[in-house]
Amino acid sequence: MCAVLGSLIVPTSARAEANTERPIAVALEYDVPDACPSVETFRQQIEARGSERALFLKSADGDATQGRLRVRVLVTAERYGRARAQLTIVSSRGDTSERAFDAATCEEVVDASALLVAIAMEAERGTSEPKAPPRAALPASSKPSPLSFLVYAGAGVGAGLGPSFGPALEGGVGLRSRHAWGSEARLEARHVRLGTTEVQGGTARFDLVAGAVEGCPVAFRAYGLRLSPCAAIAVGRLSAIASGFANARERAVLYFGAEIGGRLTVELGPAFLGMEAWGTLPLTRETFIFGTAGTAHRLASLGISSSASLGLHFR
């Protein structure tokens, strides 16, 4: 923390139509994080907002607690990069006004504090009993959403469920938690070519069209990378399309599968690049038979797949 603790008196320079009366002495205690505006910048902001002249004295020049106006500004860093200010103003009559507010950046809360101090200085000049500074229009303090919305598309390769390796296309949407554990859930649509096998002098091509619900309960994050263990349930249509022989036909069955895998995500600002690998356990192992030639294909007990995707997240 960069703290300016002790007795400081904050000034403003006279404007063209400046008040020629004696400047108002303001004792300041200014305590903010290093990334916030400096005390000099804070003084300049007061000058830009007020019409009263003020005198700035170092503590060695006198007892600042004897100033007509005493001000304490305390800024602390909050979660998600936000900042919170606590402002205390004590008038020459001993009236105390306290404000607490937060905003998206430290600059915003410091700027709002400068406005309130300038208003209090003008109240000090009045001949009537000064009132507490009115509430100024402060930056909105709505908290950011704890979730990010994702949209993505990708491509990969799968093996095990069909006769051979085959290409895969995927796309979906999801929600990602911005809290410490970084949980993530996705809804995904897939189309996988599972390869072709020969049967009765012809061929049978296998395709899987499915939807999946994926969940990653935790993410390990460092240097813009996210590594997540994941699980999924897939439901879809597994079809075999035969051709090239008499009575060739298409056969389709309902497919269920459980999946376990992992995902590595590279954060690229509002975009991300994902790489993942899965092991698939078919919950229904269907056997496909064409004509009188016997078994054409039976689902294996384990399939594997890998893919890469590119997406955007919206906060």
Name, in order, each residue with C-beta under 8 angstroms of 276's C-beta and a sequence gap of 6 or more.
230, 261, 262, 263, 264, 306, 307, 308, 309
Q: Does residue 137 sit within a domain?
A: no
Q: Does residue 183 sit within a domain?
A: yes
The pLDDT value given to residue 133:
57
Number of domains in the chain: 2
Q: Does residue 32 sit within a domain?
A: yes
Give 32-91 pLDDT, tens digit per residue. Answer: 888 888 888 888 887 777 666 666 554 344 444 455 778 888 888 877 778 888 988 888
The three-class DSSP label of residue 29 is: strand
Give 193-250 pLDDT, tens digit per residue. Answer: 988 877 777 788 888 999 999 999 999 988 889 999 999 999 999 888 877 777 777 7
The pLDDT value given to residue 152:
95
Examine the fold and report which residue of 95, 125, 155 is the final residue of a domain before the chain moves on: 125
The pLDDT value given to residue 306:
92
Residue bearing the bigger pLDDT, 22 or 192: 192
Q: Do 248 and 301 have their domain in common? A: yes
Which contacts qualify for 279-285: CB closer than 8 Å, 24 or more apart?
Answer: 279/303, 279/304, 280/158, 280/160, 280/161, 280/234, 280/304, 280/305, 281/257, 282/161, 282/255, 282/256, 282/257, 283/256, 283/257, 283/258, 284/253, 284/254, 284/255, 284/256
Q: Do 48 and 103 have their domain in common? A: yes
Strand 202-216 versus strand 83-90 pairing type: unpaired
Asked whether residue 136 carries a pLDDT value surpassing 90, the answer given is no
What residue has token string 């919950």? 283
Query: Is residue 21 packed enough to be buried (19+ CB in 10 Å), middle (13-18) or exposed (0-12)?
Result: exposed
Asked whether residue 99 carries a pLDDT value surpassing 80, the answer given is yes
Give 138-193 pLDDT, tens digit per residue. Answer: 555 556 678 889 999 999 998 878 788 889 999 999 999 877 678 999 999 999 99
Name, in order, each residue with C-beta under 8 angstroms of 196's C-beta and a sequence gap of 6 or more.
163, 164, 203, 204, 205, 206
Q: Does residue 232 sit within a domain?
A: yes
- Mean pLDDT along residues 121-125: 78
Domain that holds residue 271: 147-314
Band (pLDDT 50/70/90 cuts) for residue 16 is very low
Q: Do 104 and 177 have their domain in common? A: no
Q: Does residue 175 sit within a domain?
A: yes
Question: Distance between CA 283 and CA 295 in Å, rounded?
Answer: 20
Asked whether residue 96 carries a pLDDT value surpassing 80, the answer given is yes
Question: Which residue, 232, 238, 216, is CA-closest to 298?
Answer: 238
Asked whether residue 272 carries a pLDDT value surpassing 80, the answer given is yes
Q: Do 30 and 69 have their domain in common? A: yes
Q: Do 197 and 250 have their domain in common? A: yes
Strand (E) or helix (H) holding 221? strand 220-222
The three-class DSSP label of residue 274 is: strand
Q: Do 62 and 104 have their domain in common? A: yes
Q: Does residue 140 sit within a domain?
A: no
CATH number at residue 200: 2.40.160.70
